Amino acid sequence: MKKIFLLFTAIVFLTQLNAQSTFNIRSFTVKKIDFSLGYETDMVDGLDYSYFANQMPIAQQGLFSSADFNPTTLYGGICENPSIDIGLTFLHDQLPNFEWRNSIAYKPNRVDAVSYYSNDNFGGRYVNFDSRHDEYTLETALMYKLPILKFFNLYGGIGTNLGFVPQNETCVFTSIDFNVDGLNFQNIDNINSQVMADDYAYYSECYETGSQLNQRVFLQGGAGLTFFNKLEVGLDLKYGYGYRADFKNDAIGTNIIATNLSLRYILNDVE
């Protein structure tokens, strides 16, 4: 019953909006209400263990300062996240073929991670670093619309967004005991032969590592199919660059690749 009530409320709300001949904000006309689901990678430049270690408290950073991680032991890294966007698309009378899209995005459970494995013993020694957080983003993009058919449009343009992470958590999971003195990633076998089994333990810790600021600039392209002159189903692709900054370390560059599936409700017939 609750779901039916919410659906009915949404239909009434959209009907009331669409009943207006115009819905303006200054010289702009609101053309569409937008909703989209997306997936993106926002890869940190030169991602390695130091990116995660530098976010940790000073006392914990010392545990990893002597670890000889190097590219030959790097198994893989990811920087990825889902995205939920809602927003409005504006038109201007003087620019009928352009759309100005503005949205608020929620990116839950963003993940940055990197894994290392020992070359000598691939299956037995590992170190995983990862951070997880939620991001809240404001985004704007100016898109050129190219009509192909009455119900099919192509889009292309440029955009930018600004995201804030209120709280970040960084974790380390490893089969190496970083509390053992004199450990580095190249002498694991020697250390293991010197440490009694009862004294050896896996290392697993998580740290609260503060807030972050993200900004990106991107090119965006896409397409949309219109149904009943009221609903547009679209696909958008983004590619661009940006930076990520926390408030204890220098900013670091990022590379964004994103895909969004969108549903846009057309409020009126302004063209």
Predicted confidence (pLDDT) per residue in 190-229, tens digit: 444 444 344 445 677 888 888 899 999 999 999 999 998 8
- What digits encode the pLDDT tens for the residues 140-185? 999 999 999 889 999 999 999 999 999 888 888 877 665 544 444 4
Give this prediction's pTM: 0.78
- The whole-angstrom separation of Cα 29 and Cα 89 is 9
- What digits encode the pLDDT tens for the residues 228-252? 889 999 999 999 999 998 877 788 9
Check if the beta carbon of residue 196 is closer than 8 Å to that of residue 154: no
Query: Which three-class secondary structure state does DSSP give residue 255?
Result: strand
The CATH-assigned architecture of domain 2-266 is Beta Barrel (2.40)
pLDDT at 99 over 80: yes
Residue located via tokens 């893989």: 76
Check if the beta carbon of residue 166 is closer than 8 Å to that of residue 134: yes
Residue located via tokens 């995005």: 105
List of residues 6+ apart from 220 with CB closer than 8 A: 141, 143, 155, 156, 157, 158, 159, 236, 237, 238
The CA distances from residue 183 to 110, 163, 188, 263, in Å, are: 31, 38, 7, 54
Domain ranges of the chain: 2-266
- What digits encode the pLDDT tens for the residues 6-49? 444 444 455 555 545 456 777 888 999 999 999 999 999 988 88
